[in-house]
Amino acid sequence: MPLPKPGSEAGAAALDRIVRRPADAVLSFDFDGTLAAIVPDPSDARSYPGVTAELSRLAPLVGRLVVITGRPAAVAVEYGGFADIANILVLGHYGLERWEDGHVTAPDPPAGVGLVREELPELLRRSGAHDGTRIEDKGRSLAVHTRNAADPDAALEALRIPLAALAQRAGLTVEPGRRVIELRPAGMDKGSALAGVVADAGADPAVLYTGDDLGDIAAFETVERLRGRGVPGVTVCSGSDEVEGLSDRADLVVDGPQGVAELLAALRAAIAGRD
Ligand SMILES: O=P(O)(O)OC[C@H]1O[C@H](O[C@H]2O[C@H](CO)[C@@H](O)[C@H](O)[C@H]2O)[C@H](O)[C@@H](O)[C@@H]1O
Q: Would you list the domain boundaries of the chain?
A: 9-105+188-272, 112-184
Q: Give helix then strand counts, H and E, for the chain.
A: 8, 12
User: For position 203, what pLDDT does the model report?
Assistant: 86
**Residue 22 φ then ψ, to 5°:** -60, -30
Ligand 1, closest atom to CA 147? 19
Q: What CATH superfamily is the domain 9-105+188-272?
A: HAD superfamily/HAD-like (3.40.50.1000)
| Pocket of ligand 1, beta carbon within 6 A | 30-33, 38-40, 42, 45, 69-71, 136, 138, 143, 145, 147, 177-180, 182, 213, 215
Q: Whose CA is nearest to atom 6 of ligand 1?
A: 70
User: For position 248, what pLDDT does the model report?
Assistant: 95
Q: Which of 117, 123, 116 is nearest to 159 (CA)?
A: 123
Whether the ipTM is more than 0.95: the answer is yes
Q: Which residues of the chain have pLDDT under 70?
A: 275
What's the rounded Cα separation, in Å, for the pair 78 and 52?
Answer: 11
SS3 call for 92: strand
Give the pairing type, strands 88-92 and 64-68.
Answer: parallel
Ligand 1, closest atom to CA 31? 3
User: For position 217, what pLDDT does the model report?
Assistant: 97
SS3 call for 16: helix
User: For position 190, what pLDDT does the model report?
Assistant: 98
Calculate how far, in angstroms, residue 184's C-alpha sits from the geometric centre of ligand 1: 14
What's the rounded Cα separation, in Å, for the pair 29 and 206?
Answer: 14
Half-sphere exposure of 113 (CA within 13 A, CB side): 16
**Does the global pTM surpass 0.90?**
yes
User: For position 202, what pLDDT does the model report?
Assistant: 82
Q: Residue 171 to residues 125, 159, 181, 183: CA-CA distances in angstroms? A: 22, 18, 16, 9
What's the rounded Cα separation, in Å, for the pair 259 and 24?
Answer: 24
Q: Residue 214 has what DSSP assignment? A: G
User: For position 109, what pLDDT does the model report?
Assistant: 87
**Residue 72 φ then ψ, to 5°:** -60, 140
Q: Whose CA is nearest to atom 10 of ligand 1?
A: 42
Residue 76 near residue 96 (C-beta atoms within 8 A): no
Q: Residue 48 has what DSSP assignment? A: P
Taken as a whole, the chain contains a residue count of: 275
SS3 call for 239: coil
Q: What is the CA radius of gyration of the chain?
A: 19
What's the rounded Cα separation, in Å, for the pair 31 and 91?
Answer: 10
Residue 136 near residue 175 (C-beta atoms within 8 A): no
User: For position 45, what pLDDT does the model report?
Assistant: 98
Hey, CA dihedral for 106, 107, 108, 114, is it positive or negative? Answer: negative
Of 3.30.70.1020, 1.10.260.40, 1.10.287.90, 3.40.50.2300, which CATH number belongs to 112-184? Answer: 3.30.70.1020
Q: Residue 8 has what DSSP assignment? A: S
Chain centroid to Cα 256, Å, comes to 13
Give the pairing type, strands 97-100 and 103-105.
Answer: antiparallel
User: For position 275, what pLDDT does the model report?
Assistant: 59
What's the rounded Cα separation, in Å, for the pair 50 and 226?
Answer: 30
Calculate how far, in angstroms, residue 213's C-alpha sits from the geometric centre of ligand 1: 9
